[in-house]
Structure formats: C-alpha cells, structure tokens
A and B are shown apart, each in its own frame.
Chain A
Amino acid sequence: MLYKEVKEKKMKSNCIECDGGIEVSDDVLKGEIVTCSECGQDLEISSLNGGSITFVKAEVEGEDWGE
C-alpha cells in the first residue's frame, strides 16, 4: 500500500427542523452553513463546544437586503 486512507473525523448532531441525523466534519467553524440532507433546511453553526454542535436556522436573503 503506497498511501494510507485518511479518514475524515465526523461529529454527529441532529437537525433542529426535522431531527434528522447530521454529520459534519470535525474541522467546521462557528458560522459555517450546513444543509440537512433529510429536509433541506440550511443550518448555521452557532456554537461548538467540544464535540457538541448548536445550530440555528440559517438566514436567507431578505427582500430588504442590499445596498
């Protein structure tokens, strides 16, 4: 074997909309947006505490956004 497979470490959590399971890479940063593969809700990582992730619903472009 010339190179060994590097396994990405994952953290597990649940979607705040549908409670579906979500796995995110362990190098995510606060503020990153992930999408729930079960229901499609965009979720913003609002805090990371050890292996525990807290999500809030990600904001989408509002009709008053812009210049």
Chain B
Amino acid sequence: MRGLILASNNIPDPENFGKVLVQRCVSYQRGFHTTAFLEQAGKTVINTKDVAQICGNKAITTTTLEKSGIPVPRTAICFSIDTALEAIKNMGYPVVVKPVLGSWGRGIIPIKDIDTARGILEINEGEHGTNQVYYVQEMVDRPPRDIRSIVVGDEVVTSVYRYSAPGEWRTNVAKGGRTEPYKIGSAEEDLFLRAAKAVGGGILGIDAMESPDGLLIHEVNSTVEFRGASSATSIDIASAIIRYSHSLSKR
C-alpha cells in the first residue's frame, strides 16, 4: 500500500471494500489507521483497531494479558536510563530489552552485564517516540525454541515449535528460525484461547515460552504471518481465515 486517501467525509464505496476486510498491511501504522477509518465507515475489519492497538505495543500487550491473569514474563517499563538500570538490577542479569513497537525480532537485545546495559540504553536515549520507552524483561530460562499458536476466532488452528537458527538466539522465522509441529494439550489450548480473548480476539499469532514454571505468553501478533506454521503442518491456515471471515460477514 503506497497511498490511500480515506477521509471522514469520504466513506469508502462498499462495492470496492465489501463488508468484512482482513487487515494484512505490513506496516503497523498504515494498517492501524486504515482500520480506524474503515471501522468508522461501518466495515468489519479483522482484526479491530482496538486489538491492533493492544498487540502493536508490547507494553500494552503485556499489561492487558496480565490483567486477565495470563502468565507473562516479569517485565518493567522505564523512561530513563537510571530507572531502567534499577529495574534490571532488581530483576537480575541477564535480561532482554525490546522496542515496544516492532516485529521480526528487530532490536531485541539480550543484556548480560551493566556495561552493556548502559551502552544499549544510551543508544536508545537519543531516539524518538516509543523508542524512549524501555521495555525490560527477564531472560526466561527456556529451551532454544518457543511455541507459536495461530488462533482464528475461538479455535487454535495450529501450533508449532519455532527453533532459533544456528548462531541466533531469537526464534523468529524472519531471523531464519525453523518450525516443527507441536502437539498442543488441552490446558495449553485453553491458555492460548484465553490470551486471544484477553486482547479482543480475531486472527492472532500467539507466542509462548516454556519456562520452568510453565508457559509464559510473551507476544500476540495481530497481523499474523504463517509461512513457518504452514510449512511445518498440513493445516490449511488460509482456509480457516477465510471461513472465519465469511462467518463474520453473515452476522
């Protein structure tokens, strides 16, 4: 999407946009704002702008999940280097610092000592916008993998392990991670569905880490990509998305 004019007094022609739309824009800001305008014009957009807003910001995702009793990694939000260093000291090294806005593993940095912490935080200090928010999280003691579940409506369509690529600690498929099928149990399935409901539901990619105390949900993606999940299983994710969208068009 290079350009689109949506004005509040220029409601999109239903013939061109239909009743139900699936938001797939690769840019969060463009997707979020077009969704807002399309909803205002009476369209059903999957996912809603409220879901996109919660999932588009890791800090808001974490606090929303925690409010609903979903287990999440210990997390602190800080606005200065001093408070971030204090939060890290309380948490204990190693920790992970993540941009609150971003994807594909971009800018996610493991920090093992105070010198690195200070350096990384100082680099961010000169940044603008959400980069001035320090999202500090415990480094969860996990296997070199996480679990990605794709939730469509009230169903976990598929779950896969995502293993880090050689020489890489992040598990993102965008960073070369490989996927393998994961057989989900009923308790885990319930957790993913509760997490989906907590952020408002829809079509979601929910990521969990296997901590010594059980699964922790660390991310919910509202424009879920499923190349990795598709390659590891025979589940037809695209068809599940179409069926769900179709069911909403009949409401």
Contacts and interface: CB of A to CB of B under 8 A. Distances in A.
A62 B27 contact: yes
- Chain B contact residues, majority secondary structure: loop
Contacts of B106: 63, 66
Contacts of A66: 26, 28, 102-104, 106, 174, 221, 223, 225
A45 B184 CA distance: 46
Interface in B182-238: 205, 221-225
Among A56, A64, A66, A67, the most chain B Cβ lie within 10 Å of the Cβ of A67
Interface in A18-63: 56, 59, 62-63
Contacts of B2: 56, 59
B101 interface: yes
B116 interface: no
A3 interface: no
Contacts of A56: 2
B100 to A, nearest CB: 11
Contact of A67 (B29, B107, B223): B223
Contacts of B205: 67
Interface residues of A, number: 8
Contacts of A59: 2
Contacts of B27: 62, 64-65
A59 B101 CA distance: 19
B104 A67 contact: yes
Contacts of A64: 27-29, 101-102
A46 to B, nearest CB: 9
A67 B224 contact: yes
Contacts of B26: 65-66
Contacts of B223: 66-67
A67 B105 CA distance: 10
A11 B148 CA distance: 47
B46 to A, nearest CB: 14
A66 B221 CA distance: 9
Contacts of B103: 65-67
B227 to A, nearest CB: 11
Interface in B1-15: 2
Contacts of A65: 26-28, 103-104
Interface string B88-132: 000000000001011110110000000000000000000000000
9 contacts: A63-B106, A64-B28, A64-B101, A65-B26, A65-B104, A66-B28, A66-B223, A67-B222, A67-B223
Interface of A: 56, 59, 62-67
Interface of B: 2, 26-29, 99, 101-104, 106-107, 174, 205, 221-225
**A-B pairs with lowest CB-CB distance, top 10:** A66-B103, A67-B221, A64-B28, A66-B104, A67-B103, A64-B29, A65-B26, A67-B225, A64-B27, A67-B223
Given A63-B102, A65-B28, 18 more contacts: A63-B101, A63-B106, A64-B27, A64-B102, A65-B26, A65-B104, A66-B28, A66-B106, A66-B174, A66-B223, A66-B225, A67-B103, A67-B104, A67-B221, A67-B222, A67-B223, A67-B224, A67-B225
